[in-house]
Structure 1
């Protein structure tokens, strides 16, 4: 069955009647698994597209009530709303046109890219995804070169400039015409005629989605590149129409901000970033040398004490885990145990503990609990991140008491 949205994709409003309204709930947030109480509404006809063919459902309104989602159940389109509707009542249905037209541009764009990729390189499309910001087409080829991508994009945009019509046909299954149509099979619950979308002279493809009536309405398509795909396949990322304009606008604003930060022109960006990377690399080397020097000084001060404590305890506010490791390495086995900490004096920070293996097994969980931290044992050193550095004094006391009670110091 074809709905009004499929017969007249450019229609923004329509009047129809409520067939049924059934209490139901809807999972509005898949991550949090929250259920929204509402109603499943069936209309005599609808301009709201039920999800299918890789295209998300439309959203819109029924008599001013928000429609959260639409899906197909056999020959019916189910609309989920939170406001109860009255069966038999005539209502006005309105589609979110900006979202609808965006989906039309991306879906027709996918048909065009798919057809050209297959025509030029015999790469069939195995799936596609219409995302919120970009869309992807999965091609049955292990590799796509930059030159091939550019070639496809050039031919695609040439067809758009040619203003080629896009037509919708309704055909009967098992006919000679249907055998010529590109298809990946009908849904299991499909009944009746088959809807075919034709880009004149380029492609005929079985499809339930909403489409533009002419390729000129796509304005332009940009193939942004490739992403990781299944083994033996390649994913092409693309944007079409208004999305491309938004993408260019965002990219321009980002580039403008970057040039301001780098204090250079557009042409000098790469050179400026390379220079910045080199400076950062040099600074990191200098920082590592200074850290090592400071760590060795800390160790030397401890080691030169005539009557030094067998447990070396040290807190440095600016210390990170790298510094604590350097201190521990510099002292080595000259201390029977070490408890090194860094970070905020009361809140988050890092800690490192050394002690005989049997002692660490007992002490690490206790000290981690006192610091509200979590850590791991690595190369004889227990390292962790803490959320409550205020507990470090009590942790030090627990450490020393345990070692003394067990005659380890």
Structure 2
């Protein structure tokens, strides 16, 4: 079972003619610690927040909760995607000012759990589609449970069991997950459920 997932995002976010932030987690998903330069210090609901020139903190997006961790030893309480910016909300302020370099470290146990659960969701979704032509309409990833909403009437326990068997067999194949960027012409050649509107920098997870 071959699964393609696309995301219409670039690793670099551009605004006002300059790069605002680079998303390191797209290029190095196993990166746990990084250094970044402070571009802006702002407030979010009264809490101090930072925008860095690069980050490996994943914001809440696509059904996956945000990363947690620390910047300069201060707890990150939220990570927000705001158009072209990734905003790191802190429990308390830090002394470093704009232009200075800080060190960030993610909560790897939380991130790795999210990676496993999210990959598992796509395997399950692909199995439902392959066996019963049933699309996934939504996905929730929580601390204790994950849920899928499947567009299929009167699903039986036997059908679910077949999905479980196919999904487990896919996991046991121990296939590598490949991540790469393509243009729209190449994307049209892949087995995508829908064709993305973006012309280039389409991120494929295979």
TM-score normalized by structure 1? Answer: 0.42
Q: Tell me if 1:50 matches 2:70.
A: no
Moved runs in structure 1, 4+ residues, more than 6 A?
A: none
Q: Tell me if 1:12 matches 2:12.
A: no
> Higher strand fraction: Structure 1 or Structure 2?
2
Query: In the TM superposition, what is the alpha-carbon distance from 1:185 to its structure 2 partner?
Result: 6.1
- Unaligned runs of 5+ residues in structure 2 are 1-9, 12-22
Query: In the TM superposition, what is the alpha-carbon distance from 1:70 to its structure 2 partner?
Result: 0.8
Equivalent position of 1:111 in the other structure:
122
Equivalent position of 2:93 in the other structure:
83
Instruction: Please show how residues 6-405 of structure 1 align to structure 2 within 5 Å.
Output: 6-25=26-45, 37-81=46-90, 82-84=92-94, 85-172=96-183, 174-178=184-188, 180=190, 181-183=192-194, 193-198=201-206
Query: In the TM superposition, what is the alpha-carbon distance from 1:178 to its structure 2 partner?
Result: 4.4
Query: In the TM superposition, what is the alpha-carbon distance from 1:183 to its structure 2 partner?
Result: 4.4
Query: In the TM superposition, what is the alpha-carbon distance from 1:71 to its structure 2 partner?
Result: 1.5
After superposition, the C-alpha distances for 1:331-382 in whole angstroms (9 at most, x for unaligned) are: xxxxxxxxxxxxxxxxxxxxxxxxxxxxxxxxxxxxxxxxxxxxxxxxxxxx
Paired with 2:174 and 2:196, the residues of 1 have a C-alpha distance of 29
Give the number of equivalent residue pairs: 183
Paired with 1:145 and 1:184, the residues of 2 have a C-alpha distance of 31
- Unaligned runs of 5+ residues in structure 1 are 26-36, 199-409
Choose between structure 1 and 2 for higher RCO, CA contacts under 8 A separated by at least 6 residues: 2
RMSD value over aligned CA atoms?
A: 2.0
Paired with 1:40 and 1:11, the residues of 2 have a C-alpha distance of 22
Paired with 2:159 and 2:130, the residues of 1 have a C-alpha distance of 12
Aligned residues of 1:171 and 1:178 also touching (Cα < 8 A): no
Query: In the TM superposition, what is the alpha-carbon distance from 1:22 to its structure 2 partner?
Result: 1.2
